[in-house]
Chains A and B, each alone.
Chain A
Amino acid sequence: MPISAAWDESEATTIIGRHERREGALLPILHDLQAAFGCVPPAAVRLVADALNLSRAEVHGVVTFYHDFREQPAGRHVLKLCRAEACQSMGGEPLARQALDRLGLEWGGTTPDGRLTIEAVYCLGLCACAPSALLDGEPIGRLTPKALDEIAAGAGQ
């Protein structure tokens, strides 16, 4: 996860310009804005709306519909723990609960030092190697309590 950059209107305009002429450009634009700024900053909504000839409400509606888009940046590292059935069948829920409790977090929470965010995800397609997780986009399978503790403690150290 890149450390989120400060808001930069000219950079945002450049990003939007890269996609402006594509069909259905809104999701690619939002993904790229989030990659650059760690979230879809509220200030970006107006720029996107102007560029795509949409109302701000329409853009806001899309940003808030999809689980991926954030209005605030996440921690420096993001651990997505799978909560879907295949991982449940292998004890994923108690495993996740233990990791959250140890860090004093709830789902979607970030450690006070901004180091780690833990999020729920519903299936990573690693269902034959459950329980599974994604740490900053890297897949992890056959999670054990010990391995998860090490990941949670080790990320960003």
Chain B
Amino acid sequence: MTTRLFVPRDAAARAVGADKVAAALATEARRRGLDLQIVRTGSRGLFWLEPMIEVETPAGRIAFGPVTPGDAAGLLAGGLPIDPAHRLCLGRPEEIPFLARQTRITFARCGIVDPLSLADYRAHGGYRGLARALSLGPSATLDEVSRSGLRGRGGAGFPTGIKWKTVADTAADRKYIVCNADEGDSGAYADRMILEGDPFALIEGMTIAGFAVGATKGYVYIRSEYPDAVRTMNEALAIARAEGCLGADAAGSGIAFDIEVRVGAGAYVCGEETSLLESLEGKRGQVRAKPPLPAHKGLFGLPTVINNLLSLATVPAILADGAARYAALGTGRSRGTMPIQLAGNVRRGGLFEAAFGLTLGEIVDDIGGGTASGRPVRAVQVGGPLGAYFPRALFDTPFDYEAFAALDGLIGHGGVVVFDDSVDMALQARFALEFCAIESCGKCTPCRIGSIRGTETMDKIIAGERVEANLALITDLCQTLKFGSLCALGGFTPYPVMSAIRHFPEDFTRPRLSAAAD
């Protein structure tokens, strides 16, 4: 009997040798005459254990990791299934505490299914959501999305249902569904994992959106830094088209819907929705003033739903299992689950999907296990390069939109980057300003010029030059940036800068070696 062995094809797993592991296992199986079929899946998101492989047994899957190509011979020495007494055995993956503690809704299938098998997708609950939406009709589908409490997972947290309803209520010959997969935040990789590990969930989510608002065309805007994701998504779209899930009668819905991938070109600001729309239109990725809202005048001036990938990929599960079930999770106005991405200097880096409300301390210390370096955690940046740095003193902050906003921070796209006590927060504040200068689209003067002057001023502070006066200047500049910028790039760059100054003042006044200012 053929035994199936699952090896991730996720880019992060490939980055640490998953392809070589798969090849070594295949070679070894051939050498031993074993009847082994290697299935490439997405990643479960336990990256400190990658490459993590899973073997099918009568009692379910058993995981092993982290596996190196050199382990192949030992793993297959006792034939198939692999001996659970092997030193790399992790037991049943669902029972690994990091996974056992999660509530996986958006990521229910990721790491389990073959991302390019529609049969696998359907066998694991795929297209149940669209079927229910079709039975409900467009208007009740909109209500269901509203009732779920789903808010924009890109970070802005705008209620998805309201956005959809606005587009549905706007009359036009043509409407669009745009998926924002321009995941540029450092520390964030959830979009990438879905694109590479469960692309049909996004296709189904966009199809439901199209059905609900009356749109016939979807675009997925993926950043060029994600070549694997672009490849997998394009393959998935070709399969979906060939199998009738997209096209004139998309998945038997009676409506036409098709999706196209567009690849970004290295501009961080294109993750901002209006800038992304400009880029899709073939222009410079410069931010548009709002109003008009994209829901009224979006892509090519037509009504457009533009949602983060995670929002769209969560919709099928919401429809399949009902809004009430999703809304029952979470805290306050943050309903449902958030895929938190632990990154940087963390012992157990990976994707942790959980209901809103965990404290930052639970996320970093309990789930993440502290730093990878073994040194104390000093600062945590939440929500990407525009997110605030949090000190240990704020580790009781619950992970939800409002609690982070109240502390002049943001949860953003859910990336959590951990730093140990070797971090120099003045350099991190400088980087935030420098990054803003590199990525500014140039539309707003405070962002275009202020970021450069801010970087120079921070250099003076780091060099010990008129520190107090220059810090006052930075504070003033941050006010101007916050209130004088159209989008989050200029508007939120003050978060990392000011949080570093506020919570780690000692790093801005201490004399340092001139080399550190480099």
Q: A residues near B, CB below 8 A?
A: 23-28, 30-31, 52, 58, 61-62, 65-69, 80, 84-90, 121-130, 132, 134, 137-142
Determine whether B356 belongs to the interface, using a CB cutoff of 8 Å to chain A: no
A27 to B263, CA, bound (A): 8
| CB contact under 8 A between A127 and B265, given known A85-B186, A85-B385, A89-B423 | no
Q: Decide: B349 and A27 in contact? CB cutoff 8 A.
A: no
Determine whether B495 belongs to the interface, using a CB cutoff of 8 Å to chain A: no
Residue of B nearest to A85 (CB): B186
Q: Decide: A127 and B343 in contact? CB cutoff 8 A.
A: yes
Q: Which residues of A contact B48 (CB under 8 A)?
A: 128
Selecting from B82-90, B139-147, B274-282, the interface stretch reads B274-282
Residue of B nearest to A123 (CB): B186
| CB contact under 8 A between A89 and B224, given known A84-B385, A129-B50, A141-B16 | no
A69 to B267, CA, bound (A): 11
Residue of B nearest to A67 (CB): B266
A28 to B262, CA, bound (A): 7
| CB contact under 8 A between A66 and B265, given known A89-B418, A129-B16, A139-B15 | yes
B 333-363 to A, binary, CB cutoff 8 A, 1 in contact else 0: 0000000011111100110000000000000
Q: Decide: A24 and B281 in contact? CB cutoff 8 A.
A: yes
Determine whether B420 belongs to the interface, using a CB cutoff of 8 Å to chain A: yes
Q: Decide: B263 and A62 in contact? CB cutoff 8 A.
A: no
Q: Decide: B419 and A89 in contact? CB cutoff 8 A.
A: yes
Tell which of A69, A126, A138 has the most Cβ of chain B within 10 Å.
A126
A26 to B278, CA, bound (A): 11
Q: Decide: B11 and A86 in contact? CB cutoff 8 A.
A: no
Q: How many A-B residue pairs have CB under 8 A?
A: 158
Residues of B within 8 A of A (CB-CB), count: 62
Q: Decide: B282 and A86 in contact? CB cutoff 8 A.
A: no
Selecting from B187-195, B245-253, B318-326, B462-470, the interface stretch reads B187-195
A31 to B361, CA, bound (A): 44
A134 to B192, CA, bound (A): 15
Q: Which residues of A contact B47 (CB under 8 A)?
A: 128-129
Q: Decide: B344 and A125 in contact? CB cutoff 8 A.
A: no
A130 to B16, CA, bound (A): 10
Q: Decide: B187 and A86 in contact? CB cutoff 8 A.
A: yes
Q: Which residues of B contact A125 (CB under 8 A)?
A: 11-12, 183, 188-189, 191-192, 225-226, 229
Residue of B nearest to A80 (CB): B225
A40 to chain B, nearest CB (A): 10
B258 to chain A, nearest CB (A): 12
A59 to chain B, nearest CB (A): 9
Interface set, chain B 146-163, CB cutoff 8 A to A: none
| CB contact under 8 A between A127 and B417, given known A62-B282, A90-B372 | yes
Q: Decide: A122 and B265 in contact? CB cutoff 8 A.
A: no
Q: Which residues of A contact B224 (CB under 8 A)?
A: 31, 68
Q: Decide: B349 and A122 in contact? CB cutoff 8 A.
A: no
A141 to B51, CA, bound (A): 11
Interface set, chain B 171-205, CB cutoff 8 A to A: 183-189, 191-192
Q: Which residues of A contact B31 (CB under 8 A)?
A: none
Q: Which residues of B contact A65 (CB under 8 A)?
A: 267, 284-286, 441
Q: Decide: A126 and B189 in contact? CB cutoff 8 A.
A: yes
A37 to chain B, nearest CB (A): 16
| CB contact under 8 A between A142 and B282, given known A127-B349, A127-B417 | no
